Structure 1
Amino acid sequence: MSSPFNMPEEFLQYIWENRLFITEVKTEAGDRLEIIDQGKRNTDAGPDFFNARIRIDNTIWAGNIEIHQKASDWLKHGHQKDKAYDNVILHVVESPDVEVSRTDGTPIPALHLQYSEKLANNYRHLLDSKTWIPCEDQFHKIDPVLLQLGFNRLMIERLENKTGEILAKLKQNNNDWNETFYQILARTFGFKVNALPFELLAKSLPISILGKHKDNLFQLEALLFGNSGLLNQQLLGDDYYIRLREEYSFLYKKYGLKAIEGHLWKFLRLRPVNFPTVRIAQLAAIIHGSDTLFSKILEAKNLQELTDLFRVKASDYWDTHYNFNKLSKRKVSKELGDTSIQIAIINVVIPMLFVYGERQNKPALKNRALELLEQLPAEKNSIIGKWSELGIKARSAFESQALLQLKNNYCEQKKCLNCQIGAKLLTS
């Protein structure tokens, strides 16, 4: 029988979509009802399910299905005045508190949706869970193979989620792929802490201007540090700092530049190697290698060639500095490390390849993006570490990205009904 407590509409939709309701059904009017086809889920505006087919007594009806917790929600949402709902052939509700009709006044047959209380209790248990993932106390019941089978769907989904952001930037940049790549790369260089100022810096200083100075690393640093606002933080400094300010003063006037605010950059609680000063210097070194980096990436034949494009070091000044005008205790070459390169490839190169392949109708590029993920080692972070504790060990970046997608887009939002594991536990 149906649950004694009200369940969310998404649960009722899940019950309907997966035919988990009581099979011997009748309409509220007492007519014999057979569900021939429950229809296809609609993720846009309008009725919940399209193209359903039902039989009421001896008449077959084809049309749409609307699902509500209470039948009176039909009136609350104004569907009785909306012609988009005139093709609804069945109103599926948990609580049939009123009769409803179409815009012309004709009544709509209603089904009192009934399902096992066990299903409701299992779902409520997941929703009420306070553990790291909702099913943490039941996770051991699931065969890990089930999760492995879902990695491909999760990974494609993760890449497609990034498509919108890339296409929006591409539109802003008049379909300039190199400019778009540069902006997304710059944001990634800031990690989470300095992502915004890096993005603002890239937007304030187009790659077309940097490209005119690609053969002069000092000028690239003057442009990037000048427009970052970090050269305005002190009036006096060492020789290198003063020379950068002087060079930027000339380039600033030449291109009519406008620097961002220097106070936006965060240094607190960062490892010195990740200070924005070091990261900006490394970004300058990458552009020094090529201002058309995305074109080079499209030409790269394998992972090693891609990695080599990012294998750069900051200028010699940064061997003895982490910040301006402060000598470090020992000399350390500020090369872009393996982890940083891997992050850039995973979060910038691969999504851009995937989107470019999709837009240019080049499936081989989309496949290359997925192959690169399989070749890269799994990421090391707190989320992947926790999955490992639960017995799910990522063997590649493909799998670690899929696990990040699962945790952030399903577990965190408790979308257990859309998860293979949650769905399995719901009916177990």
Structure 2
Amino acid sequence: MLITEDLLHYLWKFRLFERTELRTTDGEEIEIFSAGLAHTDGGPDFQNARIRIGDTTWAGNVELHVASSDWQRHGHQTDGAYENVILHVVYRDDAPLTLNDGRKVPTLKLQDRIPESLYNRYHQLIFSNQQFIPCEGTIVNVDSLTLRNWLTRVLVERLEKKSKTVLDALEQNRGDWEETFYHFLAANFGFKINALPFELLARSLPQHILGKHKNSALQTEALIFGQAGFLEDDVQDDYPRKLKEEYTFLRKKYQLTPVEKHLWKFLRLRPQNFPTVRLAQFAALISGSSHLFSKILDYKEVATLRNLFTGLQVNEYWQAHYRFDAESKPSAKNLGAGAIDNLLLNTVVLFLFSYGKQQQQQYFVSRSLQLLENLPAEQNTIIEEFVNLGVKLNTAFESQGLLELKNNYCNHKKCLQCGVGNKILKLA
């Protein structure tokens, strides 16, 4: 058998080895009352175990190794943290273990106690050459309740990791939630490919400056397009000339430095997604709303949240343009339903969760998860692969959980730390 320490940890934690007539390598009887708590920060693998060895019940730590000799190889003999180990659990016993004080540590050998069926399932998960995920042939056999519970856990893990970025930015913005939300919302208006220049734009143009001109759509548009670098060149049409005139004055007034225009990407984008169109929509949103984050906190219904981004009054110039000075066939330039759901998913959900965590208000955390339940599942190659394997999903709650599962468990073959992998290993 090809055994790893991860497998031994899993077997010990869930007591999935043959436990009849357990004895140490010296023949003393063993009874396990508690396997202890898994410990990953250095020191023995399990702490606070409670085990009877012979006639004595011990409370202390348990260390696991594939081979007994790994104790020396890992340098535990010089580490005082291992002096209170009450049991050494190994797959193969190839060397007696004696501590520096002369005490011999009892050893439990599991070499002949691992069920063959469990090992075969483990080997199939960890060592087979699957193309997408280790359990791609068996995930369909996992019951919906197990899958749902695990997706809930990994989804929260995903949001907690992302919320750290929000809270770090909040600290940089001196606790200003509105400004921080504005920065993240701008980045998400870039829809990945133009996220960086959008974020740089927001950082270069503080919200309080825009607030001074919220009653003038033209000045708001001038500030946004000017700071984006699109008014640095000569323009011909009347509308961009007016923007440039306004921006020239405002730039000097506020001592602004625009983003470099070359950062914006047009290549391989549909015209509807050109950064110029997204900037026009962003300007319409900023011009038509104030205290946006406060509204996010107040609005409870998904439909109401969607309405914040629906029907934005984009300047009529853009109805027949995708770029300055380049007329095109007339078309509406409103944000589509998919784009709005993307903003809700990647900005609103994240900020509700982060705010709830930072303020210690579970209400907003629950609202963030509820919002995910009311948004449709994303459509991308990873989600399509899961669907092809027979995984049923309908909501962004499920698709976000699956993305976290794939990226942080499946890709690293962390099947023994995964609720789905655990269930597969235990299947009869």
2:293 matches 1:294 = yes
**2: CA distance, partners of 1:47 / 1:231:** 63
**2: CA distance, partners of 1:103 / 1:223:** 72
Structure 1 match to 2:350: 351
Are residues 248 and 402 of structure 1, via their aligned partners in 2, closer, same or farther at CA, if it must alter by over 3 Å? same
C-alpha contact (below 8 Å) 2:150/2:420 kept by paired residues? no
Structure 2 match to 1:22: 18
Equivalent position to 1:67, from 64, 67, 70:
64
**1: CA distance, partners of 2:337 / 2:257:** 34
Give the residue type in structure 1 aligned to 2:412.
Answer: Q
**2: CA distance, partners of 1:355 / 1:271:** 33
C-alpha contact (below 8 Å) 2:377/2:394 kept by paired residues? yes
Structure 2 match to 1:266: 265
2:82 matches 1:55 = no
C-alpha contact (below 8 Å) 2:235/2:324 kept by paired residues? no
2:78 matches 1:81 = yes
C-alpha contact (below 8 Å) 1:286/1:310 kept by paired residues? yes
Residue 64 of structure 2: SS of its match in structure 1? strand
178-187 vs 151-160, which moves further:
151-160
11-20 vs 395-404, which moves further:
395-404
Are residues 108 and 255 of structure 1, via their aligned partners in 2, closer, same or farther at CA, if it must alter by over 3 Å? farther
**1: CA distance, partners of 2:421 / 2:86:** 31
97-106 vs 69-78, which moves further:
97-106
Structure 2 match to 1:229: 229
Are residues 65 and 389 of structure 1, via their aligned partners in 2, closer, same or farther at CA, if it must alter by over 3 Å? same
Are residues 254 and 101 of structure 1, via their aligned partners in 2, closer, same or farther at CA, if it must alter by over 3 Å? farther
Structure 2 match to 1:367: 366
**2: CA distance, partners of 1:91 / 1:202:** 57
Give the residue type in structure 2 aligned to 1:16.
Answer: W
**1: CA distance, partners of 2:395 / 2:304:** 19
Shift of residue 97 of structure 1? 4.1
Structure 2 match to 1:178: 178
Residues 275-286 of structure 1: matches in 2 within 5 Å?
275-286=274-285
Shift of residue 297 of structure 1? 1.0
Give the residue type in structure 2 aligned to 1:119.
Answer: L
Deviations 1:62-105 (A, max 9, x none): 12223333444444444333333333333333344445566766
C-alpha contact (below 8 Å) 1:228/1:259 kept by paired residues? yes
**1: CA distance, partners of 2:289 / 2:98:** 65
71-80 vs 392-401, which moves further:
71-80
Are residues 108 and 217 of structure 1, via their aligned partners in 2, closer, same or farther at CA, if it must alter by over 3 Å? farther
**2: CA distance, partners of 1:251 / 1:108:** 77
Residues 223-262 of structure 1: matches in 2 within 5 Å?
223-232=223-232, 234-262=233-261
C-alpha contact (below 8 Å) 1:129/1:135 kept by paired residues? no
Residue 283 of structure 2: SS of its match in structure 1? helix
**2: CA distance, partners of 1:57 / 1:413:** 41
TM-score by length of 1: 0.89
Structure 2 match to 1:200: 200
Shift of residue 50 of structure 1? 2.0
Shift of residue 349 of structure 1? 0.9
Shift of residue 236 of structure 1? 4.5
Structure 2 match to 1:388: 387
Give the residue type in structure 1 aligned to 2:387.
Answer: S
Residue 331 of structure 1: SS of its match in structure 2? coil
Structure 2: give runs of 5+ residues left out of the alignment.
none
Are residues 336 and 105 of structure 1, via their aligned partners in 2, closer, same or farther at CA, if it must alter by over 3 Å? farther
Structure 2 match to 1:403: 402
Shift of residue 60 of structure 1? 1.7
Structure 2 match to 1:11: 7
24-33 vs 131-140, which moves further:
24-33
**1: CA distance, partners of 2:94 / 2:258:** 63
Shift of residue 19 of structure 1? 0.9
**2: CA distance, partners of 1:307 / 1:383:** 26
Shift of residue 107 of structure 1? 4.6
**1: CA distance, partners of 2:364 / 2:66:** 45
Give the residue type in structure 2 aligned to 1:153.
Answer: R
Deviations 1:326-363 (A, max 9, x none): 222x1112111111111111221122112212322322
Are residues 34 and 309 of structure 1, via their aligned partners in 2, closer, same or farther at CA, if it must alter by over 3 Å? same
Q: What do you get for the CA RMSD once the two structures are aligned? A: 2.6
Equivalent position to 1:32, from 4, 29, 34:
29
Give the residue type in structure 2 aligned to 1:364.
Answer: Y
Residue 220 of structure 1: SS of its match in structure 2? helix
Are residues 192 and 96 of structure 1, via their aligned partners in 2, closer, same or farther at CA, if it must alter by over 3 Å? farther
Structure 2 match to 1:424: 423
Give the residue type in structure 2 aligned to 1:90.
Answer: L
C-alpha contact (below 8 Å) 1:229/1:262 kept by paired residues? yes
Shift of residue 217 of structure 1? 2.4
Structure 1: give runs of 5+ residues left out of the alignment.
none
Residue 124 of structure 1: SS of its match in structure 2? helix
C-alpha contact (below 8 Å) 1:40/1:52 kept by paired residues? yes
**2: CA distance, partners of 1:200 / 1:382:** 29
Give the residue type in structure 1 aligned to 2:323.
Answer: N
C-alpha contact (below 8 Å) 1:210/1:291 kept by paired residues? no
Deviations 1:83-139 (A, max 9, x none): 333333333333444455667665543333332343333222222232222222233
Are residues 84 and 170 of structure 1, via their aligned partners in 2, closer, same or farther at CA, if it must alter by over 3 Å? farther
